[in-house]
Structure 1
């Protein structure tokens, strides 16, 4: 699925009842992620760690929504296992898991690998993760194979980057960026506009090419 694609509205059954995606999302961001199957070890760690960090997503106005092709009752039964394995999940399991037993949503959202997408007997979804903005557009996607679990810290880091650059449209975040460290000013921003945009200062880095394109700031 390409970036800036509008995620279509959909209705589905979940562990927290029926969901109508656009109504459920409201004005929030969303992390919509698929996992290969319930009652599997790596998926248990992933959904557990994401649940443990739910408060961090909530601070960022981000809702969480998991999906696989398992039955709804399997999801509900599996939640008890996840909570037993990840003992630091506070209270009730904090986000819904969508049941997509007929694979319709997984296929529509491009969450099944190319070899399996037309084979109804092979219902396993890949580890696809989509970050969706409040206007329903896909802002970032991560697709992992079944053998590799995802990193929750990286998910939170890219959300911070997306929300920052959405708010302040003249910067981008560099490699290994974390909140509070330097951001890069986009090349189209004119030098004469820098004092107004970044009153606390800008650092310009001289490059052998002589082109003045590396400008950084922590004023955001």
Structure 2
């Protein structure tokens, strides 16, 4: 007789362009519901493997220290790990006492791993019990616009997270694209022409920096 193996249903990982999966969760600032969180704002949701660990402490401190830069970009921060809210509170207080840095943003207590599973933060080849270092950029319509994944042993780059957020918002505002290494103040890429009339207008436009007819930049 062969035993029938019962497998848990696979949960598809959210992708760029998907609506952010909704959930309710307990955080260090009370209960939240994703669909109601940060109304009219962007959200940067990020997971860390565990409280009271060295790399995670540097990362969470980095988010806290630069929170005013996220505020300036109309963005709320939302942390997560598979720890209890009591562990979160103890860690927040420990870091504040040790370094003076205060994690003044909600941290999800995902002890049952429901949010981690819905967002693909649990990756078995890395760990089945700790969330990888994921970052989700979620716009005010709750659409996922960018996803970053890092392994447990490599910390994230705060400059890149802020640069990418600024690039997404600038692209939306001006309907342009961003070249390699773009940062605020650099020229942006204008959409390529789609008709012969647009091509001829592009060739005649002296206000653009034209590398090729399909690659042109401008200042904003």
TM-score scaled by length of structure 1:
0.86
User: What pairs with 1:181-196 in structure 2 (closer than 5 Å)?
Assistant: 181-188=186-193, 190-191=198-199
> Is 2:15 the counterpart of 1:14?
no
Rate the CA distance shift 1:108–1:205 in 2: closer, same or farther, 3 A. same
In the alignment, the residues of structure 2 paired with residue 193 and residue 18 of structure 1 have an alpha-carbon distance, to the nearest angstrom, of 54
Contact 2:60-2:103 at 8 Å conserved across structures: no
Aligned to 1:52: 65
Distance 2:159 2:98 in 1: 20
How far did residue 80 of structure 1 move? 1.6
Instruction: List structure 1 runs of 4+ shifted beyond 2 angstroms.
Output: 81-87, 114-117, 188-195
Provide the residue aligned with 1:152 in structure 2.
158
Cross-structure match for 2:148: 142
Q: What is the aligned partner in structure 2 of residue 173 from structure 1?
A: 178
Match of 2:168 in 1: 162
C-alpha separation between the residues in 2 aligned to 1:174 and 1:180?
12
Give the alignment partner of residue 28 of structure 1, picking from 41, 51, 57.
Answer: 41
Distance in 2, matches of 1:24 and 1:194, equals 43
* CA distance 1:116–1:157, shift in 2 (3 Å): closer
SS at match of 1:172: coil
Aligned residue pairs, count: 203
Per the TM alignment, residue 114 of structure 1 is displaced from its structure 2 partner at its CA by 3.6
Q: SS of 1:25's equivalent?
A: coil
Per the TM alignment, residue 20 of structure 1 is displaced from its structure 2 partner at its CA by: 1.5
* Kept in 2: contact 1:184–1:214 (CA 8 A): yes
Deviation of the 1:68 alpha carbon: 0.7
**Contact 1:116 / 1:123 at 8 angstroms: preserved in 2?**
no
| RMSD of aligned Cα (Å) | 2.1
The answer on 1:75 being equivalent to 2:88 is yes
Indicate how the Cα distance of structure 1 residues 131 and 201 shifts in structure 2: closer, same or farther if over 3 A, else same: same
| SS, match of residue 128 in structure 1 | strand
Change (3 A) 1:194 1:30: farther
2:111 alignment counterpart: 101
